[in-house]
Amino acid sequence: MTKKVEMTDLFQLQSVTDPQLSPDGNEAVFIKTHIDEKKNTYIANLYHVDLATKETTQWTYGIDRISLPKWSADGKQIAFLANREEKNQLYILSARGGEAKQMTSFAYGISNYRWAPCGKKIWFDAPVKEGKTFTDEEEKDDDNRPHSVRITNMNYKMDRIGLVPQDMFQQVGVIDVESGEVTQFTEGSFKYSLQAVSNDGKQLVIGVNRQENLDYAFHTPLLLVDVETKEETVIIDEDGHYGGACFSFDDNYIAFVGADRTFEIASHANLYVYDTKRGNRINVTECMDAPVGDHTVADHQQAANAPSVVWTKDNHLYFPLSTMGDVRLYFGTMEGELYPATPENEHIYGYDLTKDGATAIVAVSNATNPGELYVQTIATGERVALTSFNEQYVQEVELVEPEAIVFKGALDWDVHGWIMKPAGFEEGKKYPLVVNIHGGPHAMYGNTFFHEMQLFAAQGWGVLYVNPRGSHSYSQLFVDAVRGDYGGNDFKDIMAAVDYALSEYGWIDENRLGVTGGSYGGFMTNWIVSHTNRFKAAATQRSISNWISFFGVSDIGYYFTDWEHGADMTDVETLWKHSPLKYAKDVETPLLILHSEKDFRCPIEQAEQLYITLKSMGKETEFVRFPEADHNLPRTGIPNLRIERLTELTGWFKKYL
């Protein structure tokens, strides 16, 4: 007999990510993450799987977090990062077994790395203080006295990090594997990122912006750098975000992914190929009206790290594409041939391919599969499961299969989404319905496992979640349409979704409707309750209530408001017009306000303003604050706080629905 989904299922679910094939394609390593309830933390270990026998073996057993495993070119060693010393350091493990050797003890850890093809060196990038080296000890005040911090730039803080050190820069270096000797390769007060190492070991792709003031520098040029001479060739130097570079096997081409700023952060990312001989580049996906990359929001997978692009020996390319609510693996050629290599109705969140392109290892999730690894024959699409970490959970728990829906939104546009019946659904009964709105707004709900949605269904509620305009995976026009129109046609899309659900599903009790959402979804929840009384209860999470104050307090506020509203502090009327706080007097729906203390993306003052304003007007509202939590609490937050958040959400809707 199956049981219903519970909050504490977070401690049973296993996250299987980052599959990396060995150079000969016969074996792979990957990361499995679980939450340790007693230690109240995430534990991630390295696993190995033999593709022929399907035998899976755990290779590390620490209580730390392993990440970014990579094989050496000869397949004899695996490197990885681990936070065994609090900060991430680099380790090397023999493929034949034994203890991992620690390669770095950097003061501020290591960010990223790549093997040199000879297997004798490892390139990396890591933070270093100005005038110091990677290995200089971290400076600490012995008596823990507080000190003032001088701020001279606008981009001075970041969610999940806090204040960004003004004298800290990212540099590229190289480690001699045998001796452990570390050499710094780049220099100057700049932030470098290591992108790729050529297969002959003679060239690097490095990202760096050397402008003096980076407050409004929203691009990072990609440079092709000669290892011996340090001579630089510009691959791309344009406004927008570009990265994920990868050399073809013959080193004649460099593939990378990026988006220009035509539609600011709503711009579709494309796959580009740079010709190292001719110095020109092509846009491989120019004809596709969908973004390259994974834009799905969910709450289960931990540290999923899918490559931006993978080459095969015959210069074919594979890359993830967000399309129609799916994330699919696509095949491409430089001649413009493009087609999907994986089916619809699923989420590819990790992958790798053999050099000949015949076989892929894919990490796959769907609405009722938390995610496992499969080996797939590209020519036939045939798959065989390699892992089964969540198999018992799926068999023991009643998971509800969402039904895909399409309805007409504002301007008669098609809008896509999903509706879930309550777990244990009985024909003829009436049930509450909770609408759940995603953040972004330029993200998307997809065909992937979402614990929170399943938990809501387990409470005996229907669940409606849709991708209103502003969401990715449908078209450039669709994702851009929300900019300058927050609370306009996006609001109408969501209300149209409710109307559609009520007209098509007789089991929904129209008098017991709830609504919730986080980030942009929190903004929209605030907007909904200040513009309609259709909902009996609402819960707003990490929300935005006042775009005027958001401009100055958010880590992205000073440019995000201009990008999304076309307004800054010289046009406060526009910012106020789009602010739910302006309409607080019209709120009649009981509103639960949830917010993290260390949220720098949507700072907690947004919740404080809303709460005090509503309370002063005698509105029915409560405010729950989560200490030591940031904007990503629902996905990567401290485990006990994730449980408390879900407890608050379900408790509020139980009370009113």
Instruction: Point out the residues that are catalytic.
Output: 519, 631
Q: For residue 465, which amino acid is it?
A: Y
* CA separation, residue 393 to residues 370, 420, 421, 452 (Å): 9, 20, 20, 16
Indicate the length of the chain as a whole number. Answer: 657
Query: How far apart are alpha carbons 469 and 161 in whole angstroms?
Result: 31
Paired with 225 in beta bridges are 204, 232
Question: Quick one: 281 exposed, middle or buried, by C-beta within 10 A (0-12, 13-18, 19+)?
Answer: middle
- Cα separation, 114 vs 125, whole angstroms: 9
Per the structure block, which two tokens stand in for 607? Answer: 């919740």
Q: How many CB atoms lie within 10 A of CB 609?
A: 16
Collapsed DSSP state (helix, strand, coil) of residue 583: helix
Q: Dmax of the chain from CA atoms?
A: 76
Q: Is 337 exposed, middle or buried (0-12, 13-18, 19+ CB in 10 A)?
A: exposed
Q: For strands 27-36 and 15-21, give the pairing.
A: antiparallel
Who's near 24: CB < 8 A, 6+ residues apart? 75
Query: What are 179's two structure tokens?
Result: 């001796």
Q: Tell me: cis bond preceding 441? Omega within 30 of 0 counts.
A: yes
End-to-end CA distance of the chain: 28
Task: Answer for the pair 44, 59: CB distance below 8 angstroms, yes or no.
Answer: no
| Alpha-carbon span 24 to 354, nearest angstrom | 8
- Order of strands, edge to edge, in the sheet holding 462-467? 403-408, 414-420, 462-467, 431-437, 508-518, 537-541, 591-596, 621-626
Question: Please, which residues have CB within 8 angstroms of residue 567's CB and are 6 or more apart in sequence?
Answer: 561, 574, 575
Q: What is the C-alpha to C-alpha distance for residues 47 and 27, in angstroms, rounded to an integer?
A: 11
How far apart are alpha carbons 551 and 562 in whole angstroms? 9
Q: Are 509 and 450 in contact (CB under 8 A)?
A: no
Phi then psi for 474, rounded to 5 degrees?
-110, -60
Tokens of 603: 């700072």
Burial class (CB in 10 A: 0-12, 13-18, 19+), 66: buried
> Helix, strand, coil proportions of the chain in percent (round to 5)?
20, 35, 45
